[in-house]
């Protein structure tokens, strides 16, 4: 009909790594011709692909109307990333916290007292922290902990110098006062 629109094809754009959907229905007029999971044949149906298992999928499908073949190459990852927060015990730290085992390609968002701070792997300032890690497939995990007030080596050194200075000042004032009485 002249002037009317007809939807011929619909599709979803996906990246190289995904965590959903867990199944992929072929577009209308297309059929799966070959499907592999981690290099092994995995074809079960020519109208849809089950993506519930993790791994590397290569899916070949053909559009029946124009006889053109297409390839879908992607990795399915349903596992949320994890990190190690060295120095945290029972949600609290009494010193610096080192973030380790960060999956390559993942992103970190660090909140200190509810405000986002720049990404770093060593956290030293006291406060409430939430660290959210997200992998390339979109899976994420969040960790919350507190860094309690603590004195590091610099703080202890400064404290000792301050105590020595106050003591020296006290001794100086005491000796100066006694000398004034003697004259």
Residue 137: closest CA among 71, 59, 57 = 57
CB-CB contact of 47 with 26 (8 Å) = yes
CB-CB contact of 110 with 131 (8 Å) = yes
Report H helices in the chain. 153-182
- Whole-angstrom distance, CA of residue 94 vs CA of residue 88: 8
pLDDT at position 182 is: 52
HSE toward the beta carbon, residue 127, CA cutoff 13 A:
14
Paired with 71 in beta bridges are 60
Q: What are phi and psi of 172, to 5 degrees?
A: -60, -45
Residue 24: closest CA among 82, 81, 93, 72 = 72
pLDDT at position 159 is: 80
Residue 47: closest CA among 65, 71, 23, 22 = 23
CB-CB contact of 36 with 61 (8 Å) = no
Q: Quick one: how many helices (H) and strands (E) in the chain?
A: 1, 15
- pTM, rounded to two decimals: 0.71
pLDDT at position 33 is: 93
- Whole-angstrom distance, CA of residue 24 vs CA of residue 74: 12
- Chain centre to alpha carbon of residue 176: 63
Query: Per-residue confidence of the chain (183 residues) as pLDDT tens digits?
Result: 677 777 766 666 778 889 988 888 888 888 999 999 999 998 888 888 899 999 999 999 999 889 999 998 999 999 999 999 999 999 999 999 999 999 999 999 999 999 999 988 999 999 999 999 999 999 999 999 999 988 666 777 888 888 899 999 988 888 887 776 554
Q: What are phi and psi of 70, to 5 degrees?
A: -125, 160
């Amino acid at each position: 009909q002249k002037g009317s629109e007809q939807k011929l094809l619909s599709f979803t754009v996906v990246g190289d790594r995904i965590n959903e959907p867990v199944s992929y229905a072929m577009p209308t007029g297309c059929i799966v011709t070959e499907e592999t999971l981690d290099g092994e044949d995995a074809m079960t149906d020519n109208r849809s692909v089950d993506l519930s298992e993790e791994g590397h999928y290569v899916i070949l499908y053909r559009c029946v109307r124009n006889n053109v073949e297409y390839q879908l190459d992607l990795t399915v990852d349903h596992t949320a990333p994890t990190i190690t927060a060295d120095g945290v015990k029972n949600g609290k730290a009494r010193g610096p916290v080192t973030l380790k085992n960060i999956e390559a390609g993942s992103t970190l968002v660090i909140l200190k007292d509810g405000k986002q701070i720049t990404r770093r792997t060593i956290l030293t300032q006291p406060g409430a922290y939430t660290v959210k890690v997200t992998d390339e497939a979109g899976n994420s995990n969040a960790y919350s902990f507190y860094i309690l007030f603590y004195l590091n080596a610099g703080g202890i050194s400064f404290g000792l110098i301050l105590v020595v200075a106050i003591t020296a000042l006290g001794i100086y004032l005491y000796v100066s006062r006694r000398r004034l009485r003697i004259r």
